[in-house]
Structure 1
Amino acid sequence: MEKVRKHLIFYGYVQGVGFRWKASHTARRLGISGWVRNLPDGSVEMEAEGTERDISDLIEALENHSWGSIESIDEKNIPIHGDYSFDVV
């Protein structure tokens, strides 16, 4: 399967609720590389590299997170980096 890399920004109640922990744990389980971080405006930014299906599964897991809520997601494809880990930055 071909890999893609996506730049995502999650808006809603996504900080202070374990969102980054859930993102990193799920991404590592799915074999997705990249990173996730909080932004000053209360949103969460992420770059995720993996198959379309795995990234879709990651987003679905985050949307079903019981503590927070995602109101919207900005998503765009970006060039692949070829990294091997997923970090909280």
Structure 2
Amino acid sequence: MERRRFRVFGRVQGVGFRYTSARLAARFPVTGTVQNLPDGTVQLEVQGVPQDIAAYLASVQDHFAGNITHVETVSLPILPEEAGFSIVR
């Protein structure tokens, strides 16, 4: 189990990124959050086993292939009691 923060760059606000990312998360055994940041990027925090996190991120990147320019990744401490995947407003 691990937790990762992904900062997603490109045209990722105002295109349904948060909603779609949350909807895609339901297809994978991951938990976490997605939120817009003031600088125009989007932050995903995703928790699960490494293979599931990678598969989830790949599905997000495939869906928004024309919008994402790059993604920065940071490891975070896991949140053992986290459940579900939510949009932070």
Unaligned runs of 5+ in 2: none
Give the equivalent residue in structure 2 for 1:75. Answer: 73
Percent identity over the alignment is: 34
Tell me the TM-score normalized by structure 1: 0.89
Give the equivalent residue in structure 1 for 2:59. Answer: 61
Once the two structures are superposed, the pairs formed by residues 1-89 of structure 1 within 5 Å of their partners are 3-66=1-64, 68-82=66-80, 83-89=82-88
Runs of 4+ in 1 over 4 A off after TM superposition: none
Measure how far apart 1:28 and its partner are.
2.1
Partners in 1 of 2:48 and 2:64 — Cα distance? Answer: 25
Measure how far apart 1:17 and its partner are.
1.0
The count of corresponding residues between Structure 1 and Structure 2 is 87
2:26 match: secondary structure: helix
Tell me the TM-score normalized by structure 2: 0.89
Which amino acid letter does the alignment assign opposite residue 28 of structure 1?
Answer: A
Deviations 1:33-86 (A, max 9, x none): 110000111100111001111111111111111585111111011100021111
